A and B are shown apart, each in its own frame.
Chain A
Amino acid sequence: MQTLTWSVMFWLTVGVMIGMVVGTLPGLTATMGTALLVPFTFALPTEAGIAMLGGLYVCAMFSDAIPAVLVNTPGTPAAMATAFDGHPMVHKGRGQEAIVAACFSSAIGTLFGAAAYLLLAWPLIAIALKFGPPEFFWLGIFALTIIGSLAGDSILKGLAGGAIGLLISSIGISHGNEIARFTYGVPELRGGLSLVAGLIGIFAIPQVLAMIADLRKKEFIAEYQPVRGQTLQTIGRVLAHPFHVVRSAVIGAFIGILPGAGSPIAALVSYNEAVRWAKDKSQFGKGDLRGVTASEIANNAAAPAAMIPLVTLGVPGSSPAAVIAGALMLRGLNPGPELFQSDGSLVFSFGWSLLFAGIVTFILGSLFAPLLVKIIRIPLRLLAPLIMLLAIIGAYAIRNNIFDVYIMLALGIFVFLIRRLGFHPGPIGLGLILGPIIEPSLVQAMYISDATSVWNVFFTGTINVILITLSVLSIVLVVWTRHRDRMMARAGAASGISPGKPDGPE
Chain B
Amino acid sequence: MNMKRLADRDLLTSLMLFGVSALFSVGSSSDPKDWAFPLLANYVTLGIAIAFLAKFIFSVAMKHLPDLIQMTANDRLSTLDVIVFMVIVLVYLFTMFGLGFWPSSLIMLILASVYLTQERTTRNIRLAIIVPICICIVAYLIFTQVFYVPFPEAGWFAS
Contacts and interface: CB of A to CB of B under 8 A. Distances in A.
A386 interface: yes
Contacts of A121: none
Contacts of A386: 109, 131-132, 135
B2 to A, nearest CB: 20
A196 to B, nearest CB: 13
Nearest to A213: B78
A278 B141 CA distance: 46
Contact of A422 (B13, B35, B38, B81): B13
A34 to B, nearest CB: 12
Contacts of B33: 174-177, 443, 446-447
Interface magnitude class on chain A: 35 or more
A447 B91 CA distance: 48
Contacts of B148: 36
B58 interface: no
A393 B147 CA distance: 12
A170 B113 contact: no
A396 B151 contact: yes
Contact of A209 (B42, B82, B151): B82
Interface string A145-170: 00000000000110110111011001
A216 B72 CA distance: 13
> SS class of chain A's interface: helix, strand, loop or mixed?
helix
Given A28-B147, A384-B85, A389 B139 contact: yes
B138 to A, nearest CB: 11
Contact of B17 (A160, A181, A392, A400): A160
B105 interface: yes
B140 to A, nearest CB: 10
Most interface-central of A25, A167, A397, A418 (chain B CB within 10 A): A167
A167 B45 contact: yes
A215 interface: yes
Interface string A366-392: 000000000000001110111011101
Interface string A205-230: 00001001111110000000000000
Name the interface size band of chain B: 35 or more
A443 B37 contact: yes
Contact of A212 (B13, B36, B82, B132): B82
A390 B118 CA distance: 23
A397 B109 contact: no
Contacts, number: 164
Nearest to B74: A216
Given A163-B48, A422-B9, A21 B142 contact: yes
Contacts of A213: 75, 78-79, 81-82
14 contacts: A36-B148, A160-B13, A181-B38, A182-B24, A213-B75, A213-B82, A214-B78, A217-B74, A385-B109, A392-B93, A396-B149, A400-B150, A409-B93, A446-B33
User: What are the 4 A-B residue pairs with the smallest beta carbon separation, nearest first?
Assistant: A176-B33, A381-B116, A385-B112, A213-B78
Interface of A: 21, 25, 28, 32, 36, 156-157, 159-160, 162-164, 166-167, 170, 174-177, 179, 181-182, 209, 212-217, 380-382, 384-386, 388-390, 392-393, 396-397, 400, 402, 405-406, 409, 413, 416, 418, 420-423, 431, 435, 438-439, 442-443, 446-447
Interface of B: 9, 12-13, 16-17, 20, 23-24, 27, 29-31, 33-38, 41-42, 44-45, 48-49, 51-52, 69, 74-75, 77-79, 81-82, 85-86, 89, 93, 105, 108-109, 112-113, 116-118, 127-128, 131-132, 135, 139, 142-143, 146-152
